[in-house]
Amino acid sequence: MTTTQGTAPVIDATSTWRIVDDRLATETDPHRRTALGHLREHMVGEATGDLPRVLVTLADEPAYHFWSPAGDWGPKSRDAIVEYYTGLFAADAGRLEFDMEHLVVDRDCIVNEGTLRMIAPAAFWRERSYPGVDDGDGWYLMAARMTIIWPVAADGRLVGEDSYTGTVEPLRRLTDDEMALVPSPAELRERLADA
């Protein structure tokens, strides 16, 4: 979990896959290791804005289900998923952290639960009718409780992403000082390549 105190960044995208790395360090089943490896790569691809890295983790006919009180609005085909990520990355809305509290790995699915934190420009949130966004050009932090079920194919790739969103906290406008500590997806990709 990240904080806004002192010089700590508001989010730390690398913490998203930390619990996956911990599980990979102890998992001995080859199929589960393969699935966890695809999940990790998927998360890194999302955080770094690397669409090919995300797509290679997905089965041939993936489908996403994003469940909220308004219903399911996830993309249901590879083409729709490409369009979803292309729009997300183009809107500069890929600064993500999933503070994972639970990770369950089975042969047919992976389940994780925790708090998703996402930073995006005001325009991104306005286009999606989120309340509390002013008319300016600032950056806003969204936090929501979420459970994600990742169905797993026989080859270990991810069949999709079925997310269930609970409580969504009010958006919070970030200061310039807070944003200065959060790398862009491209900057994060460079940092990870150098590590």
Residue 3 reports pLDDT greater than 50: no
How confident is the model over 32-82, as pLDDT tens digits? Answer: 999 999 999 999 999 999 999 999 999 999 999 999 888 899 999 999 999
How confident is the model over 70-121, as pLDDT tens digits? Answer: 889 999 999 999 999 999 999 999 899 999 999 999 999 999 999 999 999 9
pLDDT, mean over the chain: 93
Domain carrying residue 57: 13-185
Number of structural domains in the chain: 1
CATH number for the domain including 70? Answer: 3.10.450.50
Query: Domain for residue 22, yes or no?
Result: yes
Closest among 142, 54, 159 to 98, alpha carbons compared: 142
Asked if 96 and 46 touch (Cβ cutoff 8 Å), the reply is yes
Query: Domain for residue 129, yes or no?
Result: yes
Residue 123 reports pLDDT greater than 70: yes
